[in-house]
Amino acid sequence: MSSNVVTSDSWRPQKPFVTFGIVVAVLLVLRIILGFVVAPPAVALGLSMLNTVIFVGLPIYGLFYAAAHSWTAKQAWVPLLVGVVLHAGMFLIIRSLKLEGAPQVFASAFMQTGVMFWCLGLGALVSILIREKNMILPIAIFLAGMDAFLILTPFTPQAKIVKDNPEIVGALGVAVPGVKAAPASGQTVPVGTFDLAYIGPADLFIAAMLFACIFRYGMQARATAKWLGPVLVGYMLLVLGFRISLPALVPIGLTVLLVNRKEFTMNKEERQATWGVTVIALAMAGFGVYNSLTYKPPKQPDEPAMQTDGSGGQKPPSLPGPTDPDPNR
């Protein structure tokens, strides 16, 4: 074990697993309740914004507390395996049985709970591999740059999935559920949930990894959590307000680095290597921003015109629709 590991009186929250369990339980119950709740449009909008704060802030809060445990590799495998089994099991049940309505609401809620567990376990496991405190700095910088490149560049597989098939991200990560609005016609709204936005699993597991490292090396844990929660909530509101996809690892990495900037003491070679990683990360992020501003999707081939008598084999083109999840599913 590295001599940099702090084993003395560094601050740690009391009963970290109890707090994590409470957070997971609250999120689980809220997800189930939201599957049955319908509100007037104005109320639904306000509650949906409140949900953004809850379902972005609470997972970070829960991971922060659970990361305070003095993890070993064997211990980290427990939540990782439990989460994978719960997540994959519920996903397969939903798809194979084609669940709808109340059964789908319950199964989906437990599936989302599994994500929290395996992200915690994976983050704790990876944090054990980081043997020196100074390694956190280039790792966080590189991950932020890579995430910006993958999300902002329109033609990467990740960007296409986020834009065209956001439900895939929801199945893999954590969904931010909205509140269903009652239609003016008085029509009955089916039981189910719809998702406002998604938090990718990489964002959560990287946050857990950074939290575990911060506790392990006696860094500014409380200050990091104090800033990271509001930053991510504001960031998610920005995504919802402008209906754009933004890399979440950028605010995570920047917050951790800025809050803990005085914790890193490097020699000349380490500084040079970190600056090299920073240049690479900035280049990747800049390339992503450039492509997001200048990229023009290829033109689709013109469809043959339909015959005037309607006998042509070509169907009328479908009207473009929103890519947001169906609010009535």
C-alpha gyration radius of the chain: 22
Average pLDDT over the chain, rounded to an integer: 79
Q: Is the dihedral of CA 68, 74, 78, 80 positive or negative?
A: positive
Judged against a pLDDT cut of 80, whether residue 172 lies above it is answered with: no
Q: How many CB atoms lie within 10 A of CB 236?
A: 23
Which of the residue ranges 62-71, 89-98, 174-183 would you say has the lowest mean pLDDT?
174-183
Average pLDDT over residues 176-195: 81
Average pLDDT over residues 41-50: 86
Asked if residues 67 and 120 have their Cβ atoms less than 8 Å apart, the reply is: yes
pLDDT one-digit tens code per residue, 228-273: 778 877 877 777 777 766 677 788 888 888 888 888 888 888 888 8
pLDDT one-digit tens code per residue, 199-211: 878 888 888 998 8
Query: Percent of the chain at pLDDT above 70?
Result: 80
Judged against a pLDDT cut of 80, whether residue 50 lies above it is answered with: yes
Judged against a pLDDT cut of 50, whether residue 7 lies above it is answered with: no
Residue 240 CA to residue 297 CA, distance in Å, equals 23
Q: What is the CA 177 to chain-centroid distance, rounded?
A: 13
Q: What tokens were used for 48?
A: 């949906």
Residue 298 CA to residue 119 CA, distance in Å, equals 37
In this prediction, residue 12 carries a pLDDT of 75
Asked if residues 232 and 60 have their Cβ atoms less than 8 Å apart, the reply is: yes
pLDDT one-digit tens code per residue, 313-328: 444 433 333 334 444 4
Residue 221 CA to residue 65 CA, distance in Å, equals 10
Asked if residues 118 and 79 have their Cβ atoms less than 8 Å apart, the reply is: yes
Query: Percent of the chain at pLDDT above 90?
Result: 26
